[in-house]
Structure 1
Amino acid sequence: MTYSPNYKVTDRNLALELVRVTEAAAISASAWTGRGMKNEADGAAVTAMRSAFDTVAIDGTVVIGEGEMDEAPMLYIGEKVGSGGPKMDIAVDPLEGTNLCAKDMPNAMTMVALAENGNFLHAPDIYMQKLVVGPGLPEDLIDLDAPIEKTLKDVAKAKGKDITNLIMCALERDRHQELIARAREAGARVVLLTDGDVAAAIAACIDDSRVDLYAGSGGAPEGVLAAAAVRCVGGQMQGRLMFEDQSQIDRAKEMAPGKDPTRKLGLHDMAAGDVLFSATGVTTGTLLRGVRFMGPTLARTHSIVMRSKSATIRFIEGRHDFSTKTWASPEGI
């Protein structure tokens, strides 16, 4: 098989292949919805996603994955995926919201982002400070270092809203207590999530969402995935890696030689070039509907796929006979 020198990451067929990957992971994970076993759900998603990647015509390297090689059995950082083709960087979260899936709560989903080689931030599995707003707003509207009160005021003015009608989304964590209190004191409303901050970041960029901005800290790998999605819809995002000790700083330096690991990251620092993003719902949430079973062999899925080059957002509903799928878990489905 030969590949055109003009092949681009934004190839339409490749976009559809990525949807197949996230669908496979979502269907397999959904067999564990509400069973209280998050590790089993995550394992099913990983196995299905890994198998589905074998049919994708890329020479992919996982740069955002399930952990280091000695920490994860599959889809670890540095693992090769795909059946051969152009060199691509892969960012994956086989199951964002493992607890959400285990408890059958909203917003569990599976995600993959793809970029040309070298265009994703190689981020260790630590926390990242994040700030996201949607498209159609003045450039450089947000600043990660600005007080949240100023950010809220600026976003409200740019959107032509009273600050009392502005909705900020954040993870419900002890570390966010001050952020939440200050946002509410400034007059904004705050929507709190138990898990799943990538969905929240995307929601801040979707026109018919209630969310105006996302703020706070969450996983750095999820930050890169969020950046890929925000790139595709033309939103704005800033981030900064948060380190607990020197070993984490040293690891970040190894992954990005010559870069200051403590620097403020712009959107293109995290996801540059042509980018594809796909996600499929496992449980129904603000962005996607969850997997729905229709008898012993059929299921429906609801996915989103986006391309940065065209800024096109597509919602795809799939109907599957998973008894024919090589990635289906016989003990789970």
Structure 2
Amino acid sequence: MTQNDNLQPGRSFALELVRVTEAAAISAARFMGRGEASNGGKAAAEAMLTFLSTVNMKGLIVMEDGKQDEHGLFQKAALIGNGQGPEVDIALAPADGAPSSGQEKQNCIAAISLAERGSMWNPGHASYLNKIVVEQQAREAIDIRLSPTENLHRIAEALGKKVRELSVFVLDKARHGSLIEETQQAGARLTLHNDGD
């Protein structure tokens, strides 16, 4: 969030949002180990909706995780909050990292992000986005339009390292096959993870 006249994030506002995510996580946790992952996701979404409606804000849902919200509780462009306070854009995920296959996994989180109204980018119906995250010293070196190999060389140069000294986190998904292969061929150390972002 940016600080301006309309949006002054105070301690109580931040704590209200913590309570929103906490309620979603606790509600989902009640279904862990019961073979009811879908019900856990629904409970998380219901709790998030209930608690968000009490937050002192005029929120506009800009992004929601459609695959999580199979019960249709959140709709893009829906207004949420108690109608008072700052006007904000909201992106939310009641159970981010939850598998859509119905199997249960640990380490899912309830996530919410707010920004000044009109400032949050909406990727539309994009299923996947290419992302690069680097430490601060390399932030000016990356370019999402370049190949992974080119980016690895630029990152290494910015950090004063060799490519083989870099560690790269990649999701172990079939769609990342060529990325994994190119990263290994470039010589970087590769760490594969099943989940994450």
CA contact (8 A) 2:42 2:71 kept: no
Residue 146 of structure 1: SS of its match in structure 2?
Answer: coil
1:120 equivalenced with 2:117 (yes/no)? no
Deviations 1:51-99 (A, max 9, x none): 111221001111111449xx64312212221112221111001111112
Q: For residues 16 and 124 of structure 2, what CA distance do their matches in structure 1 show?
A: 27
Aligned to 2:82: 83
Q: For residues 137 and 169 of structure 2, what CA distance do their matches in structure 1 show?
A: 18
Q: For residues 45 and 52 of structure 2, what CA distance do their matches in structure 1 show?
A: 11
Aligned to 1:104: 105
Aligned to 1:174: 174
Q: For residues 124 and 80 of structure 2, what CA distance do their matches in structure 1 show?
A: 20
Between 1:91-100 and 1:131-140, the stretch displaced more is: 131-140
Q: Tell me how large the CA RMSD over aligned residues is.
A: 2.4
Aligned to 2:13: 14
Q: Which has the larger share of strand?
A: 1
How has the CA–CA distance of structure 1 residues 169 and 36 changed in structure 2, closer, same or farther, with 3 Å as cutoff? farther
Residue 122 of structure 1: SS of its match in structure 2?
Answer: coil
The runs of 5 or more residues in structure 1 that have no matched partner are: 198-333
Q: For residues 18 and 38 of structure 1, what CA distance do their matches in structure 2 show?
A: 24
State the shift of 1:193 in Å.
Answer: 2.5
CA contact (8 A) 2:64 2:92 kept: yes
How has the CA–CA distance of structure 1 residues 151 and 36 changed in structure 2, closer, same or farther, with 3 Å as cutoff? farther
> Amino acid of the residue matched to residue 94 of structure 1?
P
> Amino acid of the residue matched to residue 20 of structure 1?
R
Residue 47 of structure 2: SS of its match in structure 1?
Answer: helix
1:95 equivalenced with 2:99 (yes/no)? no
Aligned to 1:50: 49
How has the CA–CA distance of structure 1 residues 142 and 78 changed in structure 2, closer, same or farther, with 3 Å as cutoff? same
State the shift of 1:21 in Å.
Answer: 0.8
Aligned to 1:164: 164
Aligned to 1:23: 22
Q: Identity of paired residues, percent?
A: 34
Structure ranking higher on relative contact order (CA contacts 8 Å, 6+ apart): 1
State the shift of 1:139 in Å.
Answer: 4.9
State the shift of 1:124 in Å.
Answer: 2.1
Map residues 174-193 of structure 1 onto 2, 5 A cutoff.
174-193=174-193
Q: For residues 143 and 91 of structure 2, what CA distance do their matches in structure 1 show?
A: 25
CA contact (8 A) 1:63 1:120 kept: yes
TM-score normalised by L of structure 1: 0.52
> Amino acid of the residue matched to residue 128 of structure 1?
Y
Deviations 1:128-184 (A, max 9, x none): 332222442255311112111111122123223332231212222212101101101
Aligned to 1:132: 132
Aligned to 1:318: none
Map residues 238-317 of structure 1 onto 2, 5 A cutoff.
none
Deviations 1:25-61 (A, max 9, x none): 1111111223333311210110110111122100111
